[in-house]
Homo-oligomer: A and B are copies of this chain.
Amino acid sequence: MPDRYAPEELNRMKPDEFRRIVRKGEWTKETADACWGYGQANLIALPKEYAYEFLLLSHFNPRPLPVLDVTEPGDPHPRRVTRDADLGTDLPKYRVFVEGKIVAEPTDVSEYWRDDLVAFVIGCSWGFVWAIKDANVKYRSLGDYTTKIKLSPSGRLRGYMVCSCRAFPSSEDAVRAIQITSRHRAFHGPPVHIGDPKLIGVERIGEPDAFIPPWPTPPPEPYEIVAFWGCGITAQNVVMESKIPYAISHYPGHMLVLDKRVEEMALF
């Protein structure tokens, strides 16, 4: 019977332990509680012929797309950030795209992996969240939103930035979060927007479209300060907007847990 681990149990697990239960199909849900203090990452695997354009795209859009590892074609092992993870099995849930459309959302993509796929491992804000929590910053997470912020394009690739959104009960909390996340550029760095969500094209704050968390996300109160961070789901938007022939990604919120501590990767 899957998914019967309590948040505290997930918190205390080591990354290899957590990835093992994921691999066995014993955890198929969000990774928000997994492995306190360790980095988490997005996956996007693309045909080799798109690898250069994607790497350039990420280089010039580093807030949503901080690349932590890139594999050789066909190789599902990101060895720069994990000892032994298999990208085909060690994330709780995936998406498979054909011509920019989602065709499957399986919990294992071993059979979907191809010899020409280059995998990009991209930092996730659920990495820096440990640092915010360690500092006792108060906030609540409002999920992920597709914004109207256009990416700087690269060759055939274009798209809009997806952002994670957090609301803070005071300026002090918001400023502290900006300071802390600035050190964590491997996990999206500082916010890309603070204040009115409409200014970046988010019309219905509180109703996330890109990642709907398993917790409630009521819209901000007037006293709350709202901030948006680049989010790795942006890569999935690029797959869809650019109609890339084939791609595999994680399912939003269902991340790869790294063997690297977030602090170990601060300001690298």
13 pairs of residues in contact across A and B, judged by CB atoms under 8 Å: A51-B52, A52-B52, A52-B55, A55-B55, A55-B56, A55-B59, A56-B70, A59-B59, A59-B67, A59-B70, A60-B80, A62-B268, A182-B267
Copies in the complex: 2
CB closest residue in chain B, given A48? B52
With a cutoff of 8 Å between Cβ atoms, the chain B residues found around residue A55 in the complex are 52, 55-56, 59
Q: Which residues of A contact B (CB under 8 A)?
A: 51-52, 55-56, 59-60, 62, 67, 70, 80, 182, 267-268
User: Which residues of B lie under 8 Å from residue A67 when comparing CB positions?
Assistant: 59
Chain B residues with Cβ below 8 Å from A60 are 80
Question: How distant is the Cα of A55 from the Cα of B59 in the complex, in angstroms?
Answer: 9
Q: Which 10 A-B pairs have the closest CB atoms?
A: A52-B52, A55-B55, A56-B70, A51-B52, A59-B67, A55-B56, A52-B55, A55-B59, A59-B59, A182-B267
> How far apart are the CA atoms of A267 and B268 in the complex, in Å?
11
A63 nearest in chain B by CB position: B268
In the complex, what's the smallest C-beta–C-beta distance from A48 to chain B, in angstroms? 9
**Chain B, residue nearest A69 (CB):** B60
Query: How far, in Å, is A65 (CB) from chain B's closest CB?
Result: 12
A251 to chain B, nearest CB (A): 26
Most chain-B CB neighbours within 10 Å: which of A51, A52, A60, A80? Answer: A52
Q: How far apart sit A59 and B268, CA to CA, in the bound complex (Å)?
A: 11
Q: How far is the CA of A45 from the CA of B52 in the complex (A)?
A: 16
Question: Min CB distance, A258 to chain B, in Å?
Answer: 16
Using A56-B70, A59-B70 as known contacts, list a sample of 11 further A-B pairs with CB atoms less than 8 Å apart, ordered by residue number in A. Answer: A51-B52, A52-B52, A52-B55, A55-B55, A55-B56, A55-B59, A59-B59, A59-B67, A60-B80, A62-B268, A182-B267
